[in-house]
Chain A
Amino acid sequence: SQQGEEDPQALSIQEGENATMNCSYKTSINNLQWYRQNSGRGLVHLILIRSNEREKHSGRLRVTLDTSKKSSSLLITASRAADTASYFCATDAGGAGGTSYGKLTFGQGTILTVHP
């Protein structure tokens, strides 16, 4: 079954508004990562939050992690048309001795459209 599930599947907002995307997962994790994908391109790493962290910021991005609820959120503040893309969360289950080998399980993604 899919580890990461994003919500909503699609989000449409106006430029300047904030965009919030949520991700839920099922098993214990070592870290959770968010990626962005422009149409037909490769994914770009945005931010990583470790299981012992609760919040992290990077520019206009804010990520929270609630391990008790097995959920994370990505907030993009003051959105721009250039933020239009698909956003994916991905979980690294870790494991003893790093036995996950860095394998990530990706969610289905949220398609964000920011209208100028």
Chain B
Amino acid sequence: SQTIHQWPATLVQPVGSPLSLECTVEGTSNPNLYWYRQAAGRGLQLLFYSVGIGQISSEVPQNLSASRPQDRQFILSSKKLLLSDSGFYLCASQPYYGYTFGSGTRLTVV
């Protein structure tokens, strides 16, 4: 079965600082990968998805970007964080049906 490694678990960053969140997948190859953001423990909003190396699709306009430099690596980045970027960020992998989620990164922008 696949495992998603996501780090760090928590992060406090000042406004205007850069961001890099990393997600790696074990136990599968060529999965679809996703970044979601969850506000206040409620619904998840899809930010980016990737169907292969170097292939990124953005779902919502925002201050963030994503990259997939390797098959099982998915990175979420920002050049300058905004207060509104605070939230719980979840990486997910889907080789077939049903997602496997990472444990999430709680980002607080101060």
List A residues at the B interface (Cβ < 8 Å): 2, 31, 33, 35, 37, 39-45, 48, 86, 88, 90, 92, 101-109
Contact = CB atoms under 8 A, between A and B. Distances in A.
Interface size class of B (residues with CB under 8 A): 20 to 34
Given A102-B32, A102-B94, A103-B34, A45 B100 contact: yes
B90 A42 contact: yes
A41 B38 CA distance: 11
Given A102-B94, A103-B34, A109 B43 contact: yes
Contacts, number: 65
B51 A104 contact: no
Given A103-B46, A105-B46, A33 B98 contact: yes
Contacts of B51: 101
Contacts of B43: 2, 88, 106-109
Interface in B56-110: 57, 59, 88, 90, 92, 94, 97-104, 106
B90 A48 contact: no
